Chain A
């Protein structure tokens, strides 16, 4: 797996924000990929808002599903 850099989209204005998954099209949301899922998790281990992570709606839904699956199996914690 190549390393992908997820930019914090907050610097850019709302119109110029790009989804991290749409820009690297080889990426897919997988519940086993804990490394990338951790980026979209809060300090309290909650799923980050789309406003802060800059992910598009389709990928946000897939992300939420992936994180919930990882939590069920014990790869990610529910709370801090």
Chain B
């Protein structure tokens, strides 16, 4: 009988164990709300004789699938030393909580060391995508400079070359886009220059016309002056002839 009583006492006695807790919070919460929520939660843990050894906030992450109509979640990881009797209570508390979408409670061995795992795969390709765009912009600038320096006839030759190159060489999409952009720039520049030339020619013609008109007017004035003089002479009474 005594042994049985001892066994019962052992079961009831609260044993401290290491646990790892992962929470997934709602993505709608603001940063201040999250900090407040976590403070309250740690308070709740300490009230129930838990020891929080580690706390790590991962931040927002995209979920692999939809949970409660949310596609994102704020991840938080805890390492706690808690009495075994409290764990079921904690589980219930988290299940009822509205701001916690999912939670995971695992028992850990005592020599467990928490280590971070970064996802570098998703970040690397984005940088690679950004890099060629800058090159394109630089190339465009260089093309503009070339067009400004050189006369109008040369870019037209360039156009023909680029037109020939695109179908023959099986280049990637980006290169094709670049070439097209260059074409556009060249065409625009050429059109502008042509327009300017036309304007200059028109202006010159206008000047010439004006000059001709002025000359004609001058001639007319001279003629009229001569006519008036003649009239005066003729009308005058004192003719020496």
Residues of A within 8 A of B (CB): 1, 30-35, 69, 71-78
Contact = CB atoms under 8 A, between A and B. Distances in A.
Contacts, number: 37
A72 B103 CA distance: 9
B67 A74 contact: yes
A78 B63 CA distance: 12
Given A69-B106, A72-B102, A72-B104, A77 B65 contact: yes
Interface residues of B, number: 17
B102 A30 contact: no
Contact of A35 (B22, B24, B64, B117): B117
A76 B63 CA distance: 8
> Interface of chain B, helix or strand or loop or mixed?
strand
B104 A75 contact: no
A69 B104 contact: yes
A43 B3 CA distance: 56
A63 to B, nearest CB: 15
A73 B117 contact: no
Contacts of A30: 115, 117
B121 interface: yes
